[in-house]
Amino acid sequence: MRRWFWQTWNGRVRPLLDRLPPRIEADPRWAWLTTTWESRFPTARPVGHELRGALADRWVRFHSPPESKRYPDDEAEYAEVLRRHHAVLDVLAAPGAELIAITVSWSPSRHPRRRPRDLVRAAPDGALWRSVLYEADDYGESWFHLFASGLHNAPRDLDPLLRLVADWATSDVILTSRDLDWLYHPYDGGGDLIPPSALERDTLANRFADWLPRNPAGL
């Protein structure tokens, strides 16, 4: 079944989709981000869930829902999830500071697709930064199309996006400063942090020790 699906997609559906307007092109205003990323993180792709493996020497994970639950059950637990995200972010950036939010659309070709409407609302004014071939096999390709948005380190800007992440309505989000001094990957269940150094990682791990995973692997 999987083989038939990808044969049909690649042979019939994808050629039609690739001809549909409008074509989304990379925004040259974000070209500097590629240079900065490759200078800062030469061993890592800008794919949220890969950061902990590629940058393991500086990685630490914090759980967001109480008692390390995967998903919040009520508004009180959503409030706690948001509070923990903001507590970590406020150590990394001053309240109100300008941040970059990297969000993702996926497609089975190099031609970018628009982001879902709820993601566009949560991270508006997003422009295509770059596309990454995530994987390829005999059945086809999978592409990550990365959109960059300017947001501020404030609940009014970040909460809609963090709520989508908490509900697993989007994934592979990366929040960072304009100089890419640190990376924060919120996921459904917590957040992966890549601070500037291992020393700062240890300091933050001690500061938020109650939110650390309880398993030996730190997951």
Domain positions in the chain are: 31-211
Confidence of residue 211 (pLDDT cuts 50, 70, 90): very high
**List of residues 6+ apart from 61 with CB closer than 8 A:** 52, 190, 191, 192, 193, 212, 213, 218, 219
Confidence of residue 210 (pLDDT cuts 50, 70, 90): very high
CA-based end-to-end distance of the chain: 34
Closest of 147, 170, 175 to residue 88, by C-alpha: 175
C-alpha angle with apex 74: 69 to 78, nearest 5 degrees?
70
Residue 24 has a pLDDT of: 87
Q: Among all chains, which residue has been given the structure tokens 């969000």?
A: 103
Mean pLDDT of 121-131: 96
Mean pLDDT of 85-101: 97
Is-contact 108 142, C-beta < 8 A?
yes
Is-contact 151 99, C-beta < 8 A?
yes
Q: Over the stretch 21-73, which tens digit does the pLDDT of each residue have?
A: 557 899 999 999 999 999 999 999 999 999 999 999 999 999 987 766 677 88
Mean pLDDT of 168-175: 96
Residue 6 confidence (pLDDT) above 60? no
Residue 128: HSE in the Cβ half-sphere, 13 Å Cα cutoff = 18
Is-contact 46 103, C-beta < 8 A?
no
**What would the 3-class secondary structure string for 11-52 be?**
HHHHHHHCCCCCCCCCCHHHHHHHHHHHHHCCCCCCCHHHHH
Cis-peptide, bond into residue 22, ω within 30° of zero: yes
Angle, helices 75-92 vs 155-166, to 10°: value is 120
User: What DSSP state is assigned to residue 211?
Assistant: G
CA distance 52 to 207: 20
Is-contact 27 161, C-beta < 8 A?
no
Residue 215 has a pLDDT of: 73
Least confident of 15-19, 140-144, 155-159, 188-192: 15-19
Specify the higher pLDDT residue, 49 or 13: 49
Mean pLDDT of 98-124: 94
Specify the higher pLDDT residue, 15 or 136: 136
**Mean pLDDT across the chain, nearest whole number?**
90
Residue 8 has a pLDDT of: 61
